[in-house]
Amino acid sequence: MSILINKNSKILVQGITGKEGGFHAKQMIEYGSQIVGGCTPGKGGTTVLDRPVWNTVAEGRAATGADTSIIFVPAFGAADAVLEAAHAGIKTIVCITEGVPIQDMVPVAAEVKRLGARLIGPNCPGLITPGECKLGIMPAHIFSPGPVGFVSRSGTLTYQAVDELTRNGLGQSTCVGIGGDPVIGTSFLDCVKMFLDDPATKALVLIGEIGGGQEEEAARFLEGKNIPCVAMIAGRTAPPGKRMGHAGAIVSGGVGTAQGKVDAFMKAGVPVLDTTQELVAELKKRMATAAV
């Protein structure tokens, strides 16, 4: 099994006629993802990559039964694209777009939740269930099927850690890049809960970074849970008030510090490692002890 996506996910690409949307749609199709078409206003009736294009998500969903969408729309239109997908009945929405204004995302995230849909992102690399479905921009060749659930706020650190897992024979059930913006649709805690309900996920890797309280929230939930789990926190040497990479990776007013996150994980019995090599080595030991 997996979380959020699998080989049966029917996917619409919002912005498929654009350079980025077309490029990554091709990669997803080659991986085996079930891309059933795309949506671009004014381009309905055309085709891209031998897939039909509709003017609206509602038209595409009616024609294909799509349940999933991925958004490659410029920042000024990304929030509206998310709302369009949610109102059309799409249940899993991935927004790759970076630079989406925070004030746009606050009401959108609330509306998506009200409609019972699931938003991943914005400003994220997407997610992948290895061997079944890739929904994003990640380099697919480093992923492999297996029992490790993976959640991260950092795209590049995801790739480094996943490559290390795969090289050590630890495949992944699903890997989710939740995004690094202050307002996102799916949190660490949301993903942890889904993984704990997934019988195929036997261990967890959590890659956090400074800023916000998501990691602390997930750590509190993990207290007393019987699953091998390890973590990393990026930005541990960043000075307070200095933004590091992501819009959400900023420590302000004593909230979101690296030490606070480390302390929360350690209290929950989750070790926080300094390198991906140490991370994987510790996970292997914990999985062996748990006979995973």
Q: How many CB atoms lie within 10 A of CB 35?
A: 27
Strands 172-177, 145-152: pairing is parallel
| Selected catalytic residue, list 24, 87, 141, 246 | 246
Cα separation of 140 and 134, whole Å? 7
Q: How many CB atoms lie within 10 A of CB 56?
A: 16
Sheet holding 118-120, edge to edge: 47-48, 51-54, 34-39, 10-14, 68-71, 92-95, 118-120
Query: Which residue matches tokens 């195929």?
Result: 200
The single-letter code of the amino acid at 24 is H
Tokens for 57? Answer: 């998500």
CA dihedral over 29, 37, 72, 101, signed as positive or negative: negative
Q: Is 246 marked active-site?
A: yes
Residues noted as catalytic: 246
